[in-house]
Amino acid sequence: MPASLEVMEDCEVFLWHGEQILPVISRHVDAVWDITRELVATMRQVREIVYGFAFHPVAGRLARLLLSHYQPVDGKPAPRDLTLDEMADSIGTTRELISKTLHRFADDGMIEISRVQFIFKDRGQLDLLAGHDE
């Protein structure tokens, strides 16, 4: 199973065989539990992302992204600080589909779009698309 390790500062990495590390782990059970809790939390986050890709259409995922990133208030402008590519990368689709979906949202009266901002017109409709309960 592939895995990765992210290092946040300069460090040394050691590779130990199981028989070498087992006595250390046995003496520091609390540390093992802490690591396990972190791994489980990360796996749950990844699961939610995968489920989101698998079970929510692009419109729902884009609505969720707009709501979470911009924290919109109906009628108030929000500066556009995400590119179409960044939005597409965030929800696992293409910039073309993002553009079409944004314009569909505009045609349906949920948002107004300009090159520099969004104006959210109907947050309730976006919430419905995102799968949020009102």
Structure tokens at 33: 């539990």
Among candidate residues 9, 28, 53, the one where a domain is terminated: 53
- Both 41 and 65 in a single domain? no
Q: Which region, left, alpha or beta, applies to residue 51 given φ > 0 means left and ψ of -120 to 50 means alpha?
A: alpha
- Both 34 and 99 in a single domain? no
The domain total for the chain is: 2
Tens-place pLDDT, residues 8-67: 899 998 888 889 989 988 999 999 999 999 999 988 888 777 766 655 689 999 999 999
- Specify if 12 maps to a domain: no
Half-sphere exposure of 114 (CA within 13 A, CB side): 6
Residues 6+ apart with CB under 8 A from 114: 80
The DSSP 8-state label assigned to residue 81 in this structure reads -
- CATH number of the domain at 76, please: 1.10.10.10
- Both 65 and 42 in a single domain? no
Which pTM was predicted?
0.59
Q: Where does 28-78 have alpha helices with state H?
A: 29-55, 58-70
For the cut 70, the answer to whether the pLDDT of residue 2 exceeds it is: no
- Both 86 and 22 in a single domain? no
115-129 mean pLDDT: 94
- Both 84 and 34 in a single domain? no
- Both 49 and 104 in a single domain? no
Provide the CA 1 distance to its chain's centre, in angstroms. Answer: 23
pLDDT of residue 18: 87
- Both 92 and 120 in a single domain? yes
The residue to which tokens 């995922």 are assigned = 61
CA–CA dist 102, 52 (Å, integer): 19
- Both 40 and 72 in a single domain? no
Range of the domain at 111: 57-130
pLDDT of residue 134: 47
Mean pLDDT taken over the chain: 89
- Specify if 75 maps to a domain: yes
- Specify if 83 maps to a domain: yes
- Specify if 23 maps to a domain: yes
- Do residues 112 and 118 make contact, with C-beta atoms less than 8 angstroms apart? yes
